[in-house]
């Protein structure tokens, strides 16, 4: 499983920049990110090249951080490529809590991060039907 950094952020000016600056100062590379927000707060999710270091450094700066296990898949970079994978999960009754894509692609494949309510079952289904799963190291060093 890929270790994702999840961060709680208030919707206040400069908080997001603060996170990015901290990562820069520590020489940590951000591979993928997504933000979900409500009116008052947001959750920032990051895939970085060194999740342990990122977690420790952000905690030290007073951020509320946890590490969440997520799955990465590689799908054909063409219309309907992702839909095939999602259909499989839906049929297997595994729901996607959230998902987001990597910037750029790997060969002819697009890279997508998924957070599933049942990761074990989801992985099994995806593998069974030949969806390519990202290795941890691939995600960090993409």
Partner 1 sequence: MIWNEHAECMPREDLEALQLRRLQELVVRVYHNVPFYRKKLQAVGYEPGDITSLKDIEELPFTTKQDLRDNYPFDMFAVPMSEVVRVHASSGTTGKPTVVGYTRRDLDIWAEVTARCLYMANTDRKGVIQIAYGYGLFTGGLGLHYGAEKVGASVIPMSGGNTEKQLMLMEDFGSTTLACTPSYALHLVESLEKSGKDRSKFKLKYGIFGAEPWSERMRKQIEDRWGIKAYDIYGLSEIMGPGVACDCDVRNGLHINEDHFYPEIIHPETGAALPRGEKGELVFTTFTKEAFPLIRYRTRDITTLHDEPCACGRTTVRMEKITGRSDDMIIVRGVNVFPTQVESVLLEFGETAPHYQLIVEREGTLDKLTIEVELSPALFSDTVTELSHLERRIFHRVDSVLGISADIKLVEPFSIPRSEGKSKRVIDKRVL
Q: Which residues bind partner 1 (CB under 8 A)?
A: 6, 8-10, 15, 36-38, 40-43, 45, 62-64, 66, 68, 97-98, 115
Nearer to partner 1, 98 or 129 (CB): 98
Closer residue to partner 1 (CB): 55 or 74? 55
Long-range own/partner contacts, residues 51-59 (CB < 8 A, 24 or more apart): 51/3, 51/4, 51/5, 51/140, 52/3, 53/26, 53/28, 54/5, 54/23, 54/26, 54/28, 55/5, 57/22, 57/23, 57/26, 57/28, 58/5, 58/7, 58/19, 58/22
Beta carbon of residue 39, minimum distance to partner 1 (angstroms, whole number): 10
CB of 14 to partner 1, least distance (A): 12
Residue 138: CB minimum distance to partner 1, A? 22
Q: What is the largest CA-CA distance in the chain?
A: 45
Q: Which is nearer to partner 1, 29 or 34 (CB)?
A: 34
Comparing CB distances to partner 1, the nearer of 8 and 129 is 8
């Amino acid at each position: 499983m890929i270790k994702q950094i999840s961060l709680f952020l208030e919707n206040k000016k400069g908080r997001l920049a603060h996170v990015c600056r901290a990562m820069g100062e520590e020489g940590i590379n951000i591979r993928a990110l997504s933000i979900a927000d409500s009116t008052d707060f947001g959750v920032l999710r990051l895939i970085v090249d060194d999740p342990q270091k990122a977690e420790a450094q952000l905690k030290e700066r007073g951020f509320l951080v946890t590490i969440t296990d997520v799955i990465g898949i590689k799908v054909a970079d063409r219309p309907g490529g992702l839909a095939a994978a999602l259909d499989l999960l839906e049929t297997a009754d595994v729901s996607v809590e959230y998902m987001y894509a990597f910037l750029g692609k790997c060969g002819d494949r697009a890279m997508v991060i998924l957070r599933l309510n049942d990761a074990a079952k989801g992985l099994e289904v995806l593998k069974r039907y030949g969806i390519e799963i990202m290795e941890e190291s691939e995600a960090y060093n993409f």
